[in-house]
Chains A and B, each alone.
Chain A
Amino acid sequence: MQRSTHSVLLLGSIMCALLLIAWVGSAFAAAAQGMYSISDYYSDLMGVIGGEWEQVGGLFTYLVGQQYFMWGFLLIISVIPLLFAGHLLIIGAKHFDHGGNQILFFPPLARIIHFIGALSFTLLVISGLLIVCGQFFGGGTFIRLARYVHIFGAILAVPAVLGMLVIWFKDMLPALCDIKWIFMLGGYLSKEIKPVPAKKYNAGQKMWYWCAVFGGLVMLATGFLIWGFGANLDIIRYSAIIHNVLGMVIVAFFLTHCYMSIFAIAGSLQSMKTGYKPEHEVHMLHSLHKYKESDVKPGDHH
C-alpha cells in the first residue's frame, strides 16, 4: 500500500516537472517570437519585394548572366545542321519510287492543322532565337519586332498544338516496334533501303510529336506567365528557365524534322501538301502500317 502511494507521488512530481518545463519552454518561445530584430525586418522585406531571390533569382541571374542559354541555342543551331550536312554528304537522301500506288496519310484537316503548326513553330523558333541572341543586333526595333512576332506565333500555336493533340494522339501512342526502330535509328545510318519496323508513325516522329505537343503546351503556359507576369515572381523566374531549356529541346527536334522532311527523304515534303505517300516509301519506312484499301489511290504505273 505504502509502495503504491510512493509511486503515485513520484509519478505526480514527474508530471509536474514536465508541465513546468513545457510552460517555461513555451514562454521562452513566445519571448523569442516577440523579439524582432532589424535583420529579421530586412529578411522579411526582401521576401516581400524580391521573392526568394537567393534561391530562385540568383539561379536565374546565374544561368542567364553566364549566357548559358544563348550559347546552348547557338550550339544547337550550329552543330545539328553540321551533323545533318555530314549525313547528307556521306549517306545521302533516301529515294523511293514515286510512281506506284499513293496511300493517304494526311487527310485535309491534318494538313491544315500541320500547316498552322508549321507556320507558328517556324515563326516562334526564328523570333525566339533572335530574342535570345538579341545582343548581336543591339536590340531596338528589330528585336522588339521579333518579340511581337513571337507572341503572334504563340497565338497561332494554340489551335495547332491542341489540334495535333486531338488528331494524332492515338497513332502516336508508343508501340513495341518503336524500341527496335530506335536501336537501328530508323535505318538512316545506312544507304540500304529495307523495311523498317514502324506503324503509321515511327519512333522518331512520335518523339517529336510528344515534344511538340506536351512541350508545346508547357512552352505556351510558361510563355503566358512571362508575357503577362501573371504569377508569383519566383514562378515567373522558374518559367523563364523552363522556357529556355525546353526551347532548346524543341529547336533541336524542329531542325531534325525540317531536315528529315526537306532533305533526308526525297519528296517527302510533297506528302504533307497532297496528303499522299508513295506505296514504296510506306512499305519500307512504315512497314507495319495497315492502311485501308479506300486510302489507296492508283499511281502512274497502272
Chain B
Amino acid sequence: MGRVKFLCDVERCIDCGGCVVACKEGHHIPVGVNRRRVVTLDSGKETEKSISVACMHCADAPCIAVCPVNCIYERADGVVLVDKKACIGCGYCFMACPFGAPQFPKGAVFGARGAMDKCTFCAGGPEENFSKEEKSLYGQNRIAEGKVPLCSGMCATKALLAGDADVVADVYRERVFQRGSGANAWGWNRAYKKKS
C-alpha cells in the first residue's frame, strides 16, 4: 500500500453534513472541535459547490515542520497524527495549515488552548491499538480494524473518497471520464439550462 488520501468530489457533494456528524459522533469529539467540516461557496448561485474538508494528511506536512515540540508525525502509510500527550497547544500547526484542519479545545488554565485535535484518518493515535487510552484521546481506530474512515464510509453520494491514493485516483478518474465535467455532465442541461 502506498499513501492514503482523501478526495472530495465537488460535483457530488450535496452539503448534507453527514460526514461531519459521523466523525463527531463516532469519535465523541468535544463541543467546539470539528475534525471535518463542509464548506460551501457561492451558496444559491449556479456555481455553488460544496466540499468536505479535514486534515489532508499532506506529504511534507507544514504542521510537522513548525511544531515546536515535534509531536506531529507521519506514518509509513501517509497518515499524519498528533501525540496529544506531548502537544502543548501553541497553535503553530493551525497557522501553518493550508486547510485550517488543526482544532483546539478551549478552557485550560487562563483560557489557554488544550492539546490539538484533528482528523486521524480514523487511525487512532500513537497509543496502543484499541487501548482505552487511544479511544479516549483520539476516538476509533477503524484503519486497524480494516475499515475506511467513518466520514467517507457513510457519505451518501459517495463524494468523499478515502483510501489508497492510487485506487482513489482511479475511481475519480473513471467518474470524470464517464460524466464529463461541469456543464458536460449528464443531466446538467435539464437541471441548470436557462429558460430565456
A interface vs B, CB < 8 Å?
A: 36, 38, 41, 44-46, 48-50, 53, 57, 60-61, 64-65, 70, 131-135, 137-140, 143-144, 146-148, 151-152, 155, 226-229, 233, 236-237, 240
B95 contacts A57, CB within 8 Å?
A: yes
| A interface: dominant SS | helix
Cβ 8 A contact of B98, one of A53, A64, A132, A139: A53
B98-122 at interface with A (beta carbon < 8 Å): 98-100, 108-112
| B interface: dominant SS | loop
Interface residues on chain B, size class: 35 or more
B85 contacts A140, CB within 8 Å?
A: yes
Cβ 8 A contact of A139, one of B10, B88, B100, B110: B88
Q: Is B97 an interface residue (CB 8 A)?
A: yes
B interface vs A, CB < 8 Å?
A: 10, 39, 41-42, 47, 49, 51, 53, 62, 65-66, 68-71, 85-92, 94-100, 108-112, 181-182
Q: A143-B88, A148-B109, A151-B110 are in contact. Are A65 and B95 (CB under 8 A)?
A: no
A38 contacts B69, CB within 8 Å?
A: no
How many Å from the CB of A222 to the closest CB on chain B?
12
Q: A49-B39, A148-B112 are in contact. Are A240 and B99 (CB under 8 A)?
A: no
Write the chain B residue with the least CB distance to A47. Answer: B41
B100 contacts A50, CB within 8 Å?
A: yes
B95 contacts A147, CB within 8 Å?
A: no
Give 10 closest A-B pairs by Cβ, nearest first.
A139-B69, A65-B65, A139-B86, A50-B98, A151-B110, A64-B66, A134-B69, A53-B98, A61-B62, A148-B109
